[in-house]
Chains A and B, each alone.
Chain A
Amino acid sequence: MEFTHYAWLIPVFPLLAFLVLTALGRQMKGIATGFSILAAAAAFIMAVLVFTERLGENVVDYTWDGFKWIGIGDFAIQMGYEVNNLNTLMLVIVTLVSLLVNVYSLGYMKDDERINTFFAYVSLFTFSMLGLVLSINLVQFFIFWELVGVCSFLLVGFWYTKPAARAAAKKAFIVTRIGDVGLFIGMLLLFWNMPGNSLEFSAIHNAAHTGALSANVITAAAILVFIGAVGKSGQFPLHTWLPDAMEGPTPISALIHAATMVAAGVYLVARTFPLFEESQAALTTVAIVGGFTAIFAATIALAQNDIKRILAYSTVSQLGYMMLAMGIGTMSSYTAGMFHLYTHAFFKALLFLGAGSVIHAVNEQDIRKMGGLGSKMKITMITFAIGTLALSGIVPFAGFWSKDAILTEAYHNVPVLFWVALVAAFFTALYMARLFFLVFTGKPRSDMHPHESPAVMTLPLLVLAVLAIIAGFVYFPGNAWFGEWLLGESPGEHADMTVMILSTVAGVGGLLIGWLLYGRRTFTEDWVEARALPAYQLLNRKYYIDELYDNGVVKPLRGIGYLLDWFDRYIVDGAVKVLSGVMTGTGRIGLRMQNGQLQAYGLIGVVGLLILIVAVVGRRYFHVG
């Protein structure tokens, strides 16, 4: 059986779950959630079947584009699905994380009365993300891309009674929209310049390689597409929405803002990679933005106090790594980027779900008020520790191999960015150590009664913890299987002893310093806060980027808005009101004349006649006209 030919079923399962839950969610109180989980499981099994089929020898990419969506004359936009190794990988990641998050939410969202709505949204999100991954052309991709954005909006604002959640949802939607505009313009540019106006990914690949597009068009299109990815993947300067999006339920943070949706930006770059390959300028842009974001977000994470925000900035930073890898522009760096996306999905989902477990237990998000949770929550602590080690890049956890692959590429191609990334890796280890030690060790710093989470929540943690350990073994020195499978050719040497030693030093050093600063001490005040106040303040306020946007963009726009509002209210509406007032007044006079008195009617008739006579006679006298 050719499972690949039935890959379209994968997104259909969650879509069905969404439709059923939306239509019948109220009626099927208890089993609604089970239905959603079942759909996610079915999608996951299907994805694994497709994946195993593609492991075999001589597999060819399969494309079905039989659905004609729009036809104008000779031009047609098809819809369909394409299965290749890149999106098979994404399919497995998305369905697996989605399945685990579904199971986890069963425990986390248990007491929420809108739990059915929540599962419906999660299913819709899974559907959109899978549709995005399977898309054959940019138009179809863009539709799902926006759908994913809508789901993000719905889920970030899921607790819409909280003003902060509403604001965060709007922010997530509007900020990513800025990126979407870039992507859309990029699409238009390609549409105009592509031979046959084709927007198929395969056609774009061919055109980029055969030189059917001019160099300038390629550069412009690649950078515009990248702007879309910047918005979605929370790269500087459009990163501000991602940390705020932590107002959503924690499982969502794991699903959308760590493992899948934000990776869509990286996936987009990977999907249109041939465009980038042909333009050095675009590659440089991607690499610099990625590298800068990696270190920029890592430093902010050092001074945050909200457990989820730290992880959010860590996500931004890690996405920066992936972009950096993409921007280096060789096939092996491309592989490294996708590899990091794949390992990061597991350990970041693990960390977020672990954070959710902590929040669930103590009902608190401020790490300064936690402490000593480790003794009460053993499973959470151990799995969280594994996630921390993986993210910090410690041998032999998954994060080490993927981060190392990126660092090696940077070391060989762009040494400056290598050092930037290395420092970012050090900061990563440092803020993760701070997070871990402040939460799980020491003495409780406020009155709380933690308890281990139920099995439905710890089980996904355990699964992800195992993956965070073993996921890296598909691609490490001496084993290039992942790269060969993804590219269909050998990616070349991807390990370097110097880099490995340096990155281990950075990772271990970060953890060690973190332990010295936060683990060994028992007192409550933040050491960094006390010693380095101005720097701490700068980081804590996230380099004042939000304030900058607020004063530089939001307030002026709002000012213009008020001005236009005033203009509309008093000038435009005023004119209308004057006009309507005249009409009403005339009507009122007319009404008064309709008094039923025959004599009054007669009088009016006579007056009218007189006016007529005066007009006719007067015209003769005064020679007007």
Chain B
Amino acid sequence: MDNIANSYFLLAAILFCVGLYGALSKRNAVIVLLSVELMLNAVNLNLIAFAKYGPVPSITGQIFSLFTITVAAAEAAIGIAILIALYRNKGTTDVLEMNAMKK
């Protein structure tokens, strides 16, 4: 692998970490969902980078990333739907108040 691949990986890692940080620390549920998208995209970037520059380049990684994008879209739709339902019930989007699992 060469330096081009390394920079892709680096970018993906940074993106993943930013997404992870956002998902774990932000209090607004919408931002958390956005952060999750960020992490998924970091993964996509990784997949494509490996598909192109990896030790065994193949088209599989790119196809897989397409799948991921599709699933991520569905996930975002469902996530927003749940958020809206929650907002209607509780009147908040603060994740700290979404602790129903504790009870």
Q: Which residues of A approach B to under 8 Å, CB–CB?
A: 594-599, 602-603, 606
Contacts and interface: CB of A to CB of B under 8 A. Distances in A.
Interface stretch (B2-10, B58-66, B95-103): B95-103
Contact of B24 (A595, A596, A602): A602
Given A606-B20, A606-B24, A599 B102 contact: no
Nearest to A594: B102
A-B CB proximity, top 5 nearest: A596-B102, A596-B99, A596-B101, A599-B24, A603-B24
B68 to A, nearest CB: 20
B25 interface: yes
Contacts of A603: 24
A602 B23 contact: yes
Contacts of A599: 23-25, 32, 95
B25 A596 contact: no
Interface residues of B, number: 13
A128 B40 CA distance: 89
Contacts of B101: 596, 598
Interface centre among B20, B23, B24, B99 (most CB of A within 10 A): B24
A606 B96 CA distance: 19
Contacts of B96: 597
Nearest to A599: B24
A594 B23 CA distance: 19
A529 B11 CA distance: 112
Contacts of A594: 102
Nearest to B25: A599
A598 B35 CA distance: 14
Given A602-B23, A606-B24, A595 B102 contact: yes
Contacts of A597: 95-96, 99
5 contacts: A596-B103, A597-B95, A597-B99, A599-B25, A599-B32
Interface string B59-103: 000000000000000000000000000000000000110111111
A602 B103 CA distance: 18
A356 B98 CA distance: 85
A595 B96 CA distance: 10
A340 B34 CA distance: 109
B13 to A, nearest CB: 12
B102 A598 contact: no
A602 B98 CA distance: 14
A606 B17 CA distance: 11
B42 to A, nearest CB: 14
A599 B99 CA distance: 10
A599 B24 CA distance: 5
B14 to A, nearest CB: 16
Contacts of A602: 23-24
A31 to B, nearest CB: 67
A307 B95 CA distance: 90
Given A595-B99, A595-B102, 7 more contacts: A594-B102, A596-B103, A597-B95, A598-B101, A599-B25, A602-B24, A603-B24
Nearest to A595: B102
Interface centre among A594, A599, A603 (most CB of B within 10 A): A599
Nearest to B99: A596
A598 B98 contact: yes
B23 to A, nearest CB: 6
A603 B99 CA distance: 15
A596 B96 CA distance: 9
Contacts of B23: 599, 602
Contacts of B102: 594-596
A443 to B, nearest CB: 91
Nearest to A604: B24
A597 B100 CA distance: 9
Contacts of B99: 595-597
Contacts of B24: 599, 602-603, 606
B25 to A, nearest CB: 7
Given A603-B24, A606-B20, A606-B24, A596 B95 contact: no
Given A606-B20, A606-B24, A598 B103 contact: no
A595 B24 CA distance: 15
A596 B97 CA distance: 9
A357 B32 CA distance: 98
A596 B20 contact: no
A89 B54 CA distance: 110
Contacts of B20: 606
Interface in B20-54: 20, 23-25, 32
A311 B99 CA distance: 84
Contacts of A598: 95, 98, 101
Interface centre among A594, A598, A603 (most CB of B within 10 A): A598
A606 B100 CA distance: 22
A611 to B, nearest CB: 16
B89 to A, nearest CB: 16
Nearest to A596: B102
Contacts of B98: 598
